[in-house]
Amino acid sequence: MRRLSGRVRPYAWGSRTVLARLQGRPVPSEGPEAELWLGAHPGAPATVDGASLADLIAAEPERLLGGEVAGRFGPRLPYLLKVLAAAAPLSLQAHPDAERARERFAAGHPSYVDAYHKPEMLVAVSQFEALCGFRDPAASAAALSTLDLPALGPVLSALGRGDLRAAVAGLVALPAAVVTEAAAAPDAPALVRRLAAAYPGDPGVLVALLLNQLTLAPGEAIWMPAGNLHAYLEGAGVEIMAASDNVLRGGLTPKHVDVAELLQVLRFEVLADPVVRAEPVAPGIVTWPAPVAEFALHRVRPADAGGALTLPVRGPRTVLCLAGDLAVDDGAGAVELAGGEAAFAADGQATLAFEGAGEAYVASVPT
């Protein structure tokens, strides 16, 4: 095991308390801190003894990743582990599938920063509010009807016939004045008022009413495959994804918005139950199943297994200690971790041994 130092991304919607408290730094932080990246993505690679993890893997892919993982994914870590801390709503977005990412990146499309897809899962570590996946069009129509705006007539007609594509296209094309009028309506839903306060006049304020509004309890997760429209509202979570930064935004952000491309990648289907619940693996170990080749995520609590446990995962592994203290050994040497600290294990022995009273999240590649 080798200690891993992550990179904090200071996006405007970030918390000034969550990551600072996690890492034992002064609270509040000087500015917003939105994400802690613990991977090898070139946008913000973590470091091992001051050296970029991305560079180390590129130099010795078979030793660090193992022959199987390097053969499947090339000389790159296929997953990215993050801690996300949202203090304000962030962008309405979706991610492309693998084929479209390759094609669009190769063609130089400005909304694509790499050639990879970005399926992702977020596990709440505090109460976490999010929008995830389309809900029943009838429920969306009922919410929009409370605004009593003639401009929404075509959208309501589209929802009445179950045409989510037309409904989204109609809403994103609305002028800012209509969104402002909607937010000021006497019976405007609380979500509309909340989002309009952060993003006045943004059509995404009304698109949000088409989505499932969730409040996750700690330990609950949401799975976001390609084409799933979603937005985070507030809370902290551990996020695991394929190592990509391809994000197609449709609103609720000062960043680049590409509605035309977003409409091409969205899956216009109802997501009845967006919540993924933890499944026990062994005493002290749970996982959240996701149908993806790039990553698996486990949570370990050695105290629940008498103070020590062994997790059977091989290949490149990233361990984040979220709370308490624990020791983790990959067979090549143990590392002691406190809350907010992380470590990286290269391919080798097919288990990780944990001791202590802490809680850790372990990212790996399914085998």
117 assigned binding-site residue: no
Name residue 36's amino acid.
L
Catalytic residue among 249, 299, 314, 317: 249
pLDDT at residue 265, rounded to an integer: 97
> What 8-state DSSP symbol labels residue 5?
B
93 annotated ligand-binding residue: yes
Structure tokens at 28: 């509040």
Residue 210's pLDDT is 98
Active site residue 277: no
Question: pLDDT value at position 184?
Answer: 96
Q: Answer yes or no: is 355 a known binding residue.
A: no
104 class by beta-carbon count within 10 Å (0-12 exposed, 13-18 middle, 19+ buried)? buried
User: In which residue are the tokens 């997790």 written?
Assistant: 311
- The angle that helices 164-172 and 137-145 make with each other, rounded to 10 degrees, is 30
What 8-state DSSP symbol labels residue 217? P
Quickly list DSSP for 229-282: -EEEEEEEEEEEEES----EEEESSSS---HHHHHHH---SB-S--EE--EEEE
Peptide bond into 316 cis (omega under 30): no
The pLDDT score that the predictor gives to residue 122 is: 98
Query: Of 300, 275, 287, nearest to 366 (Cα)?
Result: 287
- List, in order of start, the domains of the chain with CATH numbers: 2-132+213-276 (2.60.120.10), 139-200 (no CATH), 280-364 (2.60.120.10)
- Which amino acid does the sequence have at 24? G
CB 309 within 8 A of CB 350: no
Annotate 72-99 with b (16+ C-beta within 10 A) or e (fewer). ebebbbbbbbbbbbbbbbbbbbbbbebe
Show pLDDT as tens, one digit a residue, over the chain (367 residues): 999 999 999 999 999 999 999 999 999 999 999 999 999 999 999 999 999 999 999 999 999 999 999 999 999 999 999 999 999 999 999 999 999 999 999 999 999 999 999 999 999 999 999 999 999 999 999 999 999 999 999 999 999 999 999 999 999 999 999 999 999 999 999 999 999 999 999 999 999 999 999 999 999 999 999 999 999 999 999 999 999 999 999 999 999 999 999 999 999 999 989 999 999 999 999 999 999 999 999 999 999 999 999 999 999 999 999 999 999 999 999 999 999 999 999 999 999 999 999 999 999 999 7
> Is 230 known to sit in a ligand binding site?
yes
In angstroms, rounded to a whole number, what is the distance separating the alpha carbons of residues 350 and 95?
32
